[in-house]
Amino acid sequence: MKKPTRRERIHCALNSPSVLTFPKQPFQTGVITRKDTPPKKKTHPPAPPEPQWNIIQKAAAKALDAVEAALVSSELQHPLPKTADPRVQIAGNFAPVAEQSVKHELTVTGKIPECMNGVYVRNGANPLHEPVAGHHLFDGDGMIHAVTIDGGNSASYACRFTETQRLTQERQLGHPVFPKAIGELHGHSGIGRLLLFYARGLFGLVDHSQGTGVANAGLVYFNQRLLAMSEDDLPYQVRIKSSGDLQTIGRYDFDQQLKNTMIAHPKIDPVSGELFALSYDVVQKPYLKYFKFSTDGKKSPDVDIPLDVPTMMHDFAITENYVIIPDQQVVFKLQEMIKGGSPVIYDKNKKSRFGILLKNAKNAEDITWVDCPETFCFHLWNAWEEPETDEIVVIGSCMTPPDSIFNECDENLKSVLSEIRLNLKTGESKRRPIIQSSEQINLEAGMVNRNRLGRKTKYAYLAIAEPWPKVSGFAKVDLSTGEVEKFIYGDRRYGGEPFFVPRDLSSDSDSEDDGYILAFVHDEVTWKSELQIINAMTLQSEASVKLPSRVPYGFHGTFISSKDLENQV
């Protein structure tokens, strides 16, 4: 019997085409400066200019490329796990698309609500180059998709890469050279890739001094700036042009105040307008820092949070007076690479706990830690204080197996919407599923009404992550009763994060659910994408904006009103 090839052995868990097709991207240098109108006919993008290297650098580049080719050849002798196989991770509508300049006068069915006047932007991973070996969905270059609504039924669309230092260097080189944190950095080959990368740095072939991040996860509009974020770098500022196009300004360090990376889920307090954030380090102590920014962008001093090991901390929560810090069981252990494994692991011997720290704390001396066994929340949707019981209530989706996003396992992933109660007086915790077990569904990616973030909320709007990792609709969940209302996109139609936009952006309505849900939806039969606008009170569709090109499944977004954009920096 013929021995199956590696391509034949690996099953595509997404049930999507496993042959990858990479679009040709228009070439540019530096930040985006293209005209808003596309060329009249298709043209091949010009070749990137040759790097200006001396004879020693050219010889070093040739030698290191040969070493990398040998490393890749060795890697491909063995099957890749599904969590690192690009034919699984970026197949179907997870595959990348080409940039699109602004397309105006889009077709709209239904009527866009009058209050919906501004820009909806959503981030996602969109690798510029085809992977040469391992690749995880989270490894892709950041691309922002933007739908501008000008009032009435007038809408336009554009999508652009966030021009990170990593992307601009790899574009010039013509191939990926920066290590991929999840898809490549495991085992001995991961160590080899790190050594290759730093060797290229020593010869001046790449420059990692200005960051290595992809800016593909979160988006926040703060201090008159749109910031694109991934937790491995500083944020990148992206300007929304009057035409509806996007322009990368560059890495944003808050006027040289931010020296460390910042996680992709900072929180804006709806009352004070302050922004709260964390930064984690996987190599040296302190492994975690907390800080905040005033409304005019002034940064507070860092507060070092004492952790024994570097913890993977993708999200956190705020209340009216506290920040809630999850110290859970998914940790970074770089020494695991020496043993041939992944540096991101589930540590069953570690206790999960939550830290409660005053927002205005100057140090971590008064932090309160409350153990919460066997709890891993990739995202936290909200938290609030209940002084009558001395409790902090945390709402999050508890995921099992905890590291299943990063490491292959046979057990099916479950993401259970949960209420976690942290007692500040007794130091005890309680956890319960919010939805009855008979109606349990996987809920991941979503939000509450951000006008009530950090305060008690009745509703959460969450993606129905079924069949995982696709999203078949979203659920409106009553957090007190567990009642679930569903909006399903339809047969072979899938979306992503549901984003709630209040009817009145500037104030808190008497009805918490008085607003609309925005979601990109893709039809896998027609291969067309659209932006759906759904009434959050009735779960009835209000309008649909037909998009000129496919929008891949992605991560997180935000809505910026036209009024806020008037003061954009």
According to the annotation, is 175 in a ligand binding site? Answer: no
User: What does the angle CA 30 – CA 31 – CA 33 come to, to the nearest 5 degrees?
Assistant: 110
According to the annotation, is 379 in a ligand binding site? Answer: yes
For residues 438 and 425, is the Cβ–Cβ distance under 8 A? no
Q: Which two tokens stand for residue 443?
A: 């809920």
What are the backbone angles phi and psi of residue 106, rounded to the nearest 5°?
-70, 150
According to the annotation, is 44 in a ligand binding site? Answer: no
According to the annotation, is 522 in a ligand binding site? Answer: no
Please classify residue 238 by burial: count the beta carbons closer than 10 Å to its beta carbon, then call 0-12 exposed, 13-18 middle and 19+ buried: buried
C-alpha–C-alpha distance, residues 402 and 413, integer Å: 9
For residues 500 and 476, is the Cβ–Cβ distance under 8 A? no
Sign of CA dihedral 431, 436, 437, 442: negative
Q: Which of 171, 251, 265, 239 is nearest to 209 (CA)?
A: 251
C-alpha–C-alpha distance, residues 215 and 556, integer Å: 11
Q: Which two tokens stand for residue 76?
A: 């491909």
Residue type at 345 in one-letter notation: I
* SS3 assignment for 272-303: CCCEEEEEECCCCCCCEEEEEECCCCCECCCE
Q: Which two tokens stand for residue 343?
A: 């540096």
Q: Which residues are annotated as part of the binding site for Fe cation?
A: 265, 314, 379, 556
Question: Which residues are part of a known binding site?
Answer: 265, 314, 379, 556
